[in-house]
């Protein structure tokens, strides 16, 4: 247990942009699923929304565990073979799928919100909250996809296997050295640390 505690980086969720956005994915998908429980009536198409929220929740919890405990930087030896978890590529692919799925989900719950205006206040509140949370999740997934595409070496998505998310920046790992790229809102600064 001490080994996990010393390797854990619980400040990951406080670091903008990746830590905060990946935390938003987990938090708001969980909130949305809880809010769905209180809906008096589920409109047609909300099963797709529930599926996308469940997919995003499971994947984001997995990604956050991998990043908080530093498993994305480790190489595991299994049956004499070196195994590396390409966490950044998995985050990119999951966020890309969920970006499209959550955009569709936002439209579905927005239509449900507009239709719920003729019913009870509880249904209006539920679909208003769902519309806001789905829009936030669409933004978070889109922002992660854009930032990771910018961090991909030469714009090649398969190059994300060599990129590591550190919360506030991404680092490209090669055998000889580590290159750290700090991503802020408007500028990108690159430094090289030779090992």
User: HSE of 25 in the Cβ direction (CA atoms, 13 Å)?
Assistant: 33
Q: What is the pTM of this model?
A: 0.83
* More confident call, 159 vs 185: 159
Mean pLDDT across 87-111:
96
Q: What is the pLDDT of residue 194?
A: 45
Mean pLDDT estimate for the chain: 86
Note the pLDDT tens digit of each residue in 100-123: 999 999 999 999 999 999 988 989
Residue 186: what pLDDT?
47
CA distances from 144 to 57, 104, 121, 151, 152 (A): 15, 18, 35, 10, 12
For 141, other C-beta atoms within 10 Å of its C-beta total 25
- Rounded distance, CA 33 to CA 109, Å? 13
Task: Give the model's pLDDT for residue 83.
Answer: 82
Tens digit of pLDDT for each residue in 27-58? 999 999 999 988 888 888 899 999 999 999 99
Q: Which residues of 29-64 are buried (b: 16+ CB within 10 A; e: fewer)?
A: bbbbbebbeebeeebeebeebeebbebbbebbeebb
pLDDT of residue 6: 61
Give residue-wise pLDDT tens across range 3-21: 555 667 888 888 889 999 9
**Residue spans per domain, the chain:** 12-158
Q: What is the pLDDT of residue 4?
A: 53
Between the alpha carbon of residue 138 and those of residues 38, 148, 173, 179, 184, the distances in Å are 22, 16, 29, 30, 20
pLDDT tens readout for residues 141-183: 999 999 999 999 888 888 888 888 887 888 887 654 445 555 5
Distance (Å, rounded) from C-alpha 26 to C-alpha 146?
19
pLDDT value of residue 190: 53
Contact of 23 with 31, CB cutoff 8 Å? no
pLDDT at 177: 46
CA quadruple 121, 124, 130, 134: dihedral positive or negative? negative
Instruction: Give the chain's largest Cα–Cα span.
Output: 65
pLDDT at 188 over 90: no
Amino acid 52: pLDDT: 97
Q: Which residue has the tokens 């905060």?
A: 20
Residue ranges of alpha helices (H) inside 69-179 are 87-116, 121-151
Mean pLDDT of all residues in 49-69: 95
Q: Is 75 helix (H, G, I), strand (E, B) or coil?
A: strand
């Amino acid at each position: 247990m001490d080994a996990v505690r010393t390797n854990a980086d619980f400040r990951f969720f406080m670091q903008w942009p990746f830590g905060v956005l990946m935390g938003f994915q987990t938090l708001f998908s969980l909130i949305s699923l809880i809010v769905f429980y209180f809906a008096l009536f589920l409109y047609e198409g909300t099963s797709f929304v529930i599926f996308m929220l469940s997919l995003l929740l499971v994947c984001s919890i997995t990604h956050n565990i991998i990043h908080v405990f530093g498993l994305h930087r480790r190489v595991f030896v299994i049956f004499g073979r070196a195994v590396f978890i390409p966490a950044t590529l998995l985050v990119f692919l999951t966020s890309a799928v969920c970006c499209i799925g959550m955009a569709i989900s936002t439209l579905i719950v927005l239509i449900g919100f507009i239709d719920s205006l003729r019913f009870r206040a509880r249904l209006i509140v539920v679909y208003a909250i769902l519309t806001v949370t789905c829009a936030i999740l669409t933004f978070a997934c889109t922002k992660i996809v854009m930032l990771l595409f910018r961090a991909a070496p030469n714009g090649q998505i398969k190059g994300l296997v060599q990129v590591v998310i550190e919360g506030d920046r991404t680092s490209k790992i090669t055998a000889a050295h580590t290159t750290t790229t700090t991503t802020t809102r408007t500028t990108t600064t690159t430094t090289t640390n030779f090992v």
